[in-house]
Amino acid sequence: MTSRSDSLSITFQEARGLLFEGTTQLILVHGAMDRAKSFSRMTRSLVDFGFDTKSYDRRGYEESALVDPYSQQNPPTIEDHILDLASVIGEQKSLIFGHSLGGTIALLLSARNISPIAGIVTFESPLPWMEFWRRSGAYGIDPDKPLDLDFCEEFAEIFMKRMLGEERWMRLPPSTRKKRRLEGSVLVAEMASMSHLTPPLDPSLIKVPTIIGCGINAPSRHKEATAYLASNIAGAKAVEIADTDHGVHLTNPTAAVDLIKGLWQFTKD
C-alpha cells in the first residue's frame, strides 16, 4: 500500500510472518540519488520474517520529487530529511535500516532522542564533517556557494556514474537520465548541509542497539567511519560484509536482511 504524507510517498507492506513477540515496524531509508523501490529485493524476506515494513521516497526523489526543480524553492536539507524520518516513524517504536546517507539521517535523529527508535542498522553511511572524510575529497560541497542548477545537474550525473559506472549510466533511458539530473539540486543541498553540519553528530548520544555495516572492500573513508561509529556508540557492533559493493541492498540483499535480523535479535539480548 502506498500513501502520501506531507509530500512524501510512503510504501507500507504488512508482515506475513510473526515474530516471537508480535510484529515490529521496520523503516527503510534510502541514500542519495536513490528511491524506496530499490529495497524491493529485501522486502519480501522482511515481511515474511515478521516485519511491518515502511519505505519511502525521501523528499525530492522519485514520487516525492520537488514540484518544480527549476523554481527558486529551497531544496530540502539534512534537517528536513531528519524531520521527515521522524514523521514516517510516528509514535510506533521502530527499527531503522539506513543505507548510505539514509543511515546518517537515522543516526542524527536517534541522537536527538525525539522518536521511538528501537535500534538502527547503517551501511556505509557518510560522515562528511569528519576530517578523515574531508581528506578523501569525496563529494565536498561548499554550503555558502549559490545554487547553480547547471552545476547541480552535472554533479548528479557525476555521482550516478560513480555509483553505476559510465556504461550502465548510458544504458539508462534518456528520460531516466534526465530525471536523475533534475534531482541534482536535492543532492547538492543535502551534501552541502551535511559537509559543515552544525552541530555535528555526537555518537555518544545514541542509546539504542546499533549495527554498523561496511563492505570488506569499501573505500578507506567508509572503514574509518565504521570504526569511529562503532567505537563511540555504546555497545555498537561493526559488521563487515563480503561479496557486495556500496549498494548492498541491490547486490547482496540477503546480507542486508541478515543485518536487520541481527539487529532484531540484538534488541532482544
Q: What is the pLDDT of residues 88-102, one digit of tens each?
A: 999 999 999 999 999
Mean pLDDT of 175-204: 88
d(CA 103, CA 109): 10
Per-residue pLDDT tens digits for 127-183: 988 988 887 665 556 666 667 788 889 989 998 998 888 999 999 999 999 999 989
Q: Within a 13 Å sphere around the CA of 167, how many CA atoms are in the beta-carbon half?
A: 0
